[in-house]
Amino acid sequence: MGGKSPVAATEEQRVGLMALAGSRDRGEADRARAVLLTLAGWTSPRIAEAFGVREDTVRLWRSDFGKGGVDALKASIAPGPVPVKSSAALRVVTPLLEEPVADRPNWTIPRLRAEIEAREGVRISRSQLSKALRKKSFAGGGPGTR
C-alpha cells in the first residue's frame, strides 16, 4: 500500500503543528514535524528514515493527529501509581541540594541514599534516585555541561 497520505490540516492546525515542532520535548516535536512533513508530501518510509523510527510509528502519529488533532501529539503522563520512593527521596534531597554550594557538604548518590533511608525509612536504588534527580533537574547542569 503506497501513495499519498490522506492526512489534511486546517490553517489553525498547521500553526499548532509549527508551534509544537519547536517544543522542548523531543517526542512532541518529532511527532509534529512528521505530520508537517506528511502534509508536505513526504512518504512514511522517508519520514521514518529521517527520524530513525519504524514506518508503523509514523503511521501511528498520523492516525493520532487525524483522530485528535495537535493535542493528540502532545506528551502525556502515563497512568499509574504515584512514585512513592521517588517522592520520598525528593522530599529529603530537595532542601539539601538547594542550599548554597559553599555551605553544604559534597552530596554523592551513596550519601544521598543513606540520608533518604535515615530520614524517610525508604531504600531507593542508585538508578531510581538518579532518574528522580534528572526529572527534578538537579543532575546534569543543563545543556553543554558534559
Largest CA distance in the chain: 65
Residues near 89 by Cβ (< 8 Å), separated by ≥ 6?
Answer: 112, 116, 120, 122, 124, 128, 129, 132
Residue in this structure with the C-alpha cell 508530501, named with its chain if needed: 41
Sign of the torsion formed by the C-alpha atoms of 47, 51, 55 and 56: negative
pLDDT in tens, 51-96: 999 999 999 999 999 999 999 999 887 788 878 999 999 999 999 9
Residue in this structure with the C-alpha cell 551513596, named with its chain if needed: 110
pLDDT reading at 2 higher than 90: no
Q: For residue 146, what pLDDT is reported? A: 40
Is pTM beyond 0.85? Reply is: no
Q: Where are the chain's structural domains?
A: 11-73, 84-136
Residue 71 half-sphere exposure, CB side, CA atoms within 13 Å?
2
